[in-house]
Amino acid sequence: MVGARSFPSRAAMPELPEVETTRRGIAPHLVGQRVERVVVRERRLRWPIPEDLDVRLSGQRIEAVERRAKYLLIRAEAGTLIGHLGMSGSLRLVEAGLPAVRHEHVDILLESGLALRYTDPRRFGALLWSADPLEHELLRRLGPEPLGEDFDGERLYRLSRGKSVAVKPFIMDNAVVVGVGNIYASEALFAAGIDPRRAAGSVSRARYRRLAEEIRRILAQAIECGGTTLRDFVGGDGKPGYFQQTLLVYGRGGEFCKVCGSTLHEVRLGQRASVYCGRCQR
């Protein structure tokens, strides 16, 4: 008997490490499996689930489970299921036929006897179908992956010239680089010693090089930790991610800086809470 295996679910929107943790957790159980059928109990997500999803996906063998930014791409023989966890979504493997409870909207039944179950209390997530996912309107204008070869400090420096927007919302812009959400932007800027309020266009080339390195390092570390536990996030092994234990500024406004001992300040930038150290970050 296989118990439910939980994957990322939390009250705040899952960021890149949490989505990558989901991908790594579900991929071994999906790749090579054939879909027997799709059971949709609630189609009203952020965008309606296609009426013909069962027809399109049933009988298809799953060839890969990939990630682009915060989107999961479940590639089948004839197309790709594009998934987004929204603010509260999760994917878990359960025994096929396990009775569904409230907010468990979709089951993808596999020939192995398991089902990939999608749960989303707030219904801000998405399950969409595309023959060419990278050209889908949600994905085609996205910037490079932060852990890929196309992202570096030179890109940040070049795109920032002449911009008065604060550097934190600048690096959170998916057209600049994908997947650098609020938690990891805050931590990377602290590690690079850059005040999140500083105008993007005023940051030097050398400091952007350092910032790009810190973005890479912190995201890679978060993935290895299984993501950040905020409320009910859990990783592919059913255990909570523990990157939260390493957070130096995010969510710590009014507390002491762990580096210099100063009181951390909290402001709002781009409608998001931002915590920084006035001594360590300039």
34-84 pLDDT tens trace: 999 999 999 999 999 999 999 999 999 999 999 999 999 999 999 999 999
Q: Residues 95, 13: one domain?
A: yes
Q: Residues 81, 167: one domain?
A: no
Looking at 61, 155, 197, 272, which residue is catalytic? Answer: 272
Q: What is the pLDDT of residue 110?
A: 98
Specify if 12 maps to a domain.
yes
Q: Residues 208, 130: one domain?
A: no
Specify if 145 maps to a domain.
no
Q: What is the pLDDT of residue 88?
A: 84
Q: Residues 214, 162: one domain?
A: yes
> Count of H helices and E strands in the chain?
6, 11
Specify if 79 maps to a domain.
yes
Confidence of residue 244 (pLDDT cuts 50, 70, 90): low
Q: Is 117 a catalytic residue?
A: no
Specify if 143 maps to a domain.
no
Q: What domain range includes position 106? A: 5-135
Confidence of residue 270 (pLDDT cuts 50, 70, 90): confident
Confidence of residue 226 (pLDDT cuts 50, 70, 90): confident
Specify if 190 maps to a domain.
yes
Indicate the annotated binding residues. 103, 122, 163
CA atoms of 182 and 53, how far apart (whole Å)? 33
Beta carbons of 193 and 277 less than 8 angstroms apart? no
Q: What is the pLDDT of residue 229?
A: 41
Looking at 14, 17, 133, 196, which residue is catalytic? Answer: 14
Q: Residues 175, 207: one domain?
A: yes
Give the lowest-confidence range in 3-7, 164-168, 192-196, 250-254. Answer: 3-7
List, in sequence order, every residue forming a beta bridge with 72; answer none if it has no partner: 67, 83
Looking at 8, 15, 23, 92, which residue is catalytic? Answer: 15
Specify if 146 maps to a domain.
no
Q: Is 15 a catalytic residue?
A: yes
Indicate the annotated binding residues for DNA. 103, 122, 163
Q: Encode pLDDT of 75-114 as tens digits.
A: 999 999 999 999 888 898 999 999 999 999 999 999 999 9
pTM score, two decimals? 0.86
Question: Residue 178 belongs to a domain with what CATH number?
Answer: 1.10.8.50
CA atoms of 115 and 86, how far apart (whole Å)? 20
Arithmetic mean of pLDDT over the chain: 89
Q: Is 258 a catalytic residue?
A: no
Count the domains in the chain.
2
Taking 60 as the threshold, does the pLDDT of residue 236 lie above it?
A: no
Q: Encode pLDDT of 130-188 as tens digits.
A: 999 999 999 999 999 999 999 999 999 999 999 999 999 999 999 999 999 999 999 99
Question: Residue 59 belongs to a domain with what CATH number?
Answer: 3.20.190.10
Q: What is the pLDDT of residue 164?
A: 97
Q: Residues 259, 193: one domain?
A: yes
Specify if 140 maps to a domain.
no
Looking at 5, 67, 68, 70, which residue is catalytic? Answer: 70
CA atoms of 241 and 18, how far apart (whole Å)? 8
CA atoms of 89 and 22, how far apart (whole Å)? 11
Beta carbons of 128 and 50 less than 8 angstroms apart? yes
Q: Is 70 a catalytic residue?
A: yes
Domain final residue pick, 103, 135, 167: 135
Specify if 172 maps to a domain.
yes
Taking 80 as the threshold, does the pLDDT of residue 5 lie above it?
A: no
Q: Residues 179, 259: one domain?
A: yes
Q: Residues 130, 161: one domain?
A: no
Q: Residues 93, 185: one domain?
A: no
Beta carbons of 196 and 167 less than 8 angstroms apart? yes
